[in-house]
Structure 1
Amino acid sequence: MKKTVMFSALALLISGPVMAKTWVLTSAEGGTEQGNWRITSDQLNIKDQQFSIEQVVLHGGKQEGSKVIKLISKNGLTIALSPTRGMNLLYADGFGVHMGWNSPVKEVVNPAFINLESRNGLGWLEGFNEMVVRCGYEWTGHPVTADGQIYTLHGKVGNTPASQVSVDVSETAPYEIRIRGLVKESAFKKVDLQTETELRYIPGSNSFSLHDVLTNHADYPHDYQIIYHSNFGKPILEQGARFITPYENVSPFNDYAKGGLKEWQTYAGPTKGFDEMVFNIKPLFDASKQTVAALVNKAGDKGVAISYNTEQLPVLTMWKNTDTEKQGYVTGIEPGTSYAYPVTIERAQKRVKQLQPGQSTRFDLTYTLLHNSAQVADVEKRVKEIQGSKTPQTIDTPMAKE
């Protein structure tokens, strides 16, 4: 379909920073694939920052053929993402802090080896090990069979290889780096959703941002959902770690989560036999519709904060999975258009959105690695400012039952 966005050098130069260099790593339409590739600040004759960007093709096991792009800033962050897995972010490290988690799934699993319909619609779990997974866009949430089909766990986009991938580096300070991808969810007579993803990073910074544009390329309206499933383990997650966000109300996802409602904002250490607990949050926001959610360690000197726009992503899910370390000791901070209930429930409760033919919508999030007590204190101050005098409400009853 000719409406498909082409990631040509000219298009990137027009839409990106002034005086930028661009490398197209993958183009399905152009038949381009760079494979193993690398560029450095030295090669670009940049003297006041040291960084490199590389793509590596993996081999062996279920990661055969998977690609990983790694952005390394000597005095900032190292960020890894996989074009093979929907441009998902694998991890981000820097300043002595790791952002990500230790999943039992050790490989960057190629979607060719995943059957999303296996395990009664839970096949998605066989590749789940990333720091940030885009869950959507055609649907998201827990699996359900309806409308003559299986809506598998958290949709398909996270297991869809990108059709277009490019890297863009500004030639002038502060040398912003942009990694772009195009991920298509297309099926004859069913859907033609396309998402232009973009990661932006300034070398030396302790934060990066995601800017995604979802477009309905079909001639008919189509529903969409998205959850930015953002996952963190040690060293930030530990016994006594805290979750903070300004909120209007919180409710348990199900009856099991009701048992943890009193302590929902604090974490236990690794606990054998702990089933996952999920909490539904209605966030508060500032005058610009912006808000923040954060995980901070017990000492209050390490953490991660996610800032996002509540007009784009109106609800927030917090996922607690403080099981054993080998089982996957992790928590999720998940801004979205929907909660994690099956699409049938989200439709009934009017949270499923729709795009008209040719219509686009965008999602903008900023992730910040907090690596000292002053940075943590700044986020806590922002949470308090947005919360203001509004007393948050705790609702004991789940809003739905699967």
Structure 2
Amino acid sequence: MSTKIESAYVSASPEANIRWSKNSSLTRQIETRQGMIGVRHGRFVGGLADGVEVVEVDTGVTTALILPSRGMSIWRLESGGIDFGWKSPIAGPVHPSHVPIFDPSGLGWLEGFDEFVVRCGLESNGAPEHDDSGRLLYPLHGRIANLPATSLSIEYNEASGRVEVIGEMIESRLFFKRFRLKSRIRFHAGQPDVELLDDVTNELTSPASMQLLYHINVGSPVLGKDSTFDAPVETLAPKDAHAAEEIETWNQFGEPESGYAERVYFAKLRANEHNLTSAMLSAADKASGLAITYSVTGLPRFVLWKNTAALEDGYVAGLEPSTNYPNNRTFEAEQGRVLDIDPGETKSFRVTIHPMSDSEAVSKMAKRIATLRGDEPSTVEKMPKPGWTRGA
């Protein structure tokens, strides 16, 4: 039996308090054949978070806080007693009204960035871009993370134990674009994994192009001294000369270091016959980790973000499947790394997040990645790769 409960949109905030709604149709305990799963709905109260809408889902194994006000981002994820997010210097979640996306520098997006999972896009998802006169054309990482859901609902299936939180965002500008992102965030009672099932539709009568990147951010305790990243790399290259300085240890992480400047690596990963690939960040003792599995059909590129700065400055690693590399949009379009989307057409993107809180799960994922890697050696470029980095 599948039941759908609709609610009107409202907006949604952290270190402030969450006021949980007792009367919302989204607040309920759902009994399934696989166990109980709890959903509750509320809003943050106070500070920059005031008014931010939040939905909590508790599978009995994993608890996630979803932010409909911030593009259906996942703010926090806890599983097996481990917090898989990170501690950003931003006192979030920040209501989108306080995030100056179109700040002339193009970097205003950073004033709201503290989520575990945040989408970048849809018109553009990379570095800010200005025209010859200095006018901002595309801000850092686009707009979708700061657009509120226009609808919000849950669906559940009592037999399978499946629960989905469903939200829709519209990114639009008269004469230019109208993208609808329908996001289903899927959970199963008694299971740790979280599935992101996103569909983007071009609702205009003219063709358009888009980009999308999933910024999945992991901090301590999974990230720490001697943590490692593992993926079936086909080809990998540093984004710039700064990242090239650590190319010999590109998949190894150090302890928090004050003044550390981020390193970024671009990659293509190998996939299986179903076009699925996986990547994992594991703790030094291999007793915990965070992995992702996704389809390279929609997300053919991968980005690794290393930011082992001091804990107070944002100690974090980013696992980022993407349609493209996060250079400015014009360069990516010249390289053919934008998705053309016809009038009425829908593009689908699928990412599964695997929080792992024991050595058995980490070992199983490592074996899966080794199978995907196969016997062919990986190509690791020493310097930025032409066509992947502007000016390389």
Report TM bin, short chain. Answer: over 0.9
Amino acid at match of 2:85: G
Matched, 1:20 2:20: no
1:364 paired residue number: 350
Contact 2:104 2:136 in 1 (8 A): no
Which of 253, 261, 268 is the matching residue for 2:239? 253
| Corresponding residue number in structure 2 for 1:40 | 28
Question: Secondary structure at the residue paired with 1:345?
Answer: helix
Q: Distance in 2 between matches of 1:72 and 1:225?
A: 31
Pair 1:325–1:146, CA change in 2 (3 A): same
Q: 2:390 aligned with 1:401, yes or no?
A: yes
Deviation at 1:114, TM superposition (A): 1.2
Does residue 96 of structure 2 align to residue 108 of structure 1?
Answer: no
Work out the CA distance in 1 between the residues paired with 2:32 and 2:126.
Answer: 45
Give SS of 2:280's match. strand
| Residue 81 (structure 1) aligned to one of 36, 61, 66 | 66
SS at match of 1:206: coil
Query: 1:340, 1:269 → 2: CA distance?
Result: 26
TM-score, normalising length: structure 2? 0.92
Superposition pairs for residues 48-127 of structure 1, below 5 Å?
49-74=35-60, 76-118=61-103, 120-127=105-112
* Structure 2 partner of 1:197: 183
CA contact (8 A) 1:223 1:354 kept: yes
What's the CA shift for 1:196? 0.5
**How far apart are 1:150 and its partner, in Å?**
2.2
RMSD: 1.7
Q: Deviations over 1:80-116 (max 9, x none)?
A: 1100000001121121221111111122111111111
In the alignment, does 2:328 pair up with 1:342?
yes
Give the Å deviation of 1:119. 6.1
> Structure 1 residues 359, 47: CA separation in 2 closer, same or farther (over 3 Å shift)?
closer
Structure 2 residue identity aligned to 1:87: M
Following the alignment from structure 1 to structure 2, what is the Cα–Cα distance between the partners of residues 314 and 97?
30
Is it true that 1:263 corresponds to 2:263 in the alignment? Answer: no
**What is the CA distance between 1:374 and its match in structure 2?**
1.2
Q: Deviations over 1:270-299 (max 9, x none)?
A: 011110000001111111111001100000
Instruction: Give the aligned partner of residue 153 of structure 2.
Output: 166
> Are the aligned partners of 1:244 and 1:383 in contact in 2 as well (CA < 8 Å)?
yes
Q: 2:141 maps to which residue?
A: 154
Separation of aligned partners in 2, 1:20 and 1:39? 17
Paired residue for 1:31?
A: none
Structure 1: stretches of 5+ with no match in the other structure: 1-18, 29-34
Matched to 2:78, the amino acid is D
SS at match of 2:247: coil
2:126–2:327 contact (8 Å) kept in structure 1: yes
Indicate the SS of the match to 1:192.
strand
Distance 2:218 2:354 in 1: 13
Listed as ranges, the gaps of 5+ residues in structure 2 are: 11-19
Match of 1:7 in 2: none
User: 2:15 maps to what in 1?
Assistant: none
Structure 2 Cα separation of the partners of residues 151 and 45 of structure 1: 46
User: Following TM superposition, by how much is the alpha carbon of 1:50 offset from its aligned partner in structure 2, in angstroms?
Assistant: 2.8
Which one-letter code corresponds to 1:184 in the other structure?
Answer: I
- Three-state SS of the structure 2 residue aligned to 1:344 is helix
**Is the Cα contact below 8 Å between 2:40 and 2:55 reproduced in 1?**
yes
Number of the residue aligned with 2:17: none
TM superposition shift of 1:397 = 2.3
**Cα offsets for 1:292-334 (capped at 9, x unmatched):** 0110000011001100011110000000000000000000000
1:235 to 217, 221, 225: 221
TM superposition shift of 1:26: 2.6
Shift in Å at residue 174 of structure 1?
2.9
Q: Shift in Å at residue 39 of structure 1?
A: 2.9
Paired letter, 1:80: L
Aligned-partner residue type, residue 294 of structure 1: M
- Structure 1 runs (4+) deviating above 6 angstroms are none
**Which residue does the alignment assign to 1:302?**
288
C-alpha separation between the residues in 1 aligned to 2:88 and 2:96?
A: 17
Partners of 1:123 and 1:350 in 2: CA distance: 27
Compute the displacement of 1:49 (Å): 2.0
CA contact (8 A) 2:237 2:380 kept: yes
CA contact (8 A) 1:83 1:181 kept: yes
- Contact in 2 for aligned 1:240/1:266 (Cα 8 Å): yes
Within 2, Cα distance between the matches of 1:207 and 1:335? 17
> Structure 1: how far apart are the matches of 2:31 and 2:318?
40
Quote the residue 2:121 is aligned against.
Answer: 136
User: Kindly, what percent of the aligned residue pairs are identical?
Assistant: 29
Q: Whole-Å Cα distance in 2 between the matches of residues 149 and 119 of structure 1?
A: 6
Q: Distance in 2 between matches of 1:286 and 1:49?
A: 32
Q: How many residues align?
A: 375
Q: Aligned letter for 1:127?
A: G
Q: Structure 2 vs 1, CA of residues 187 and 302 (structure 1 numbering), >3 Å: closer, same or farther?
A: same
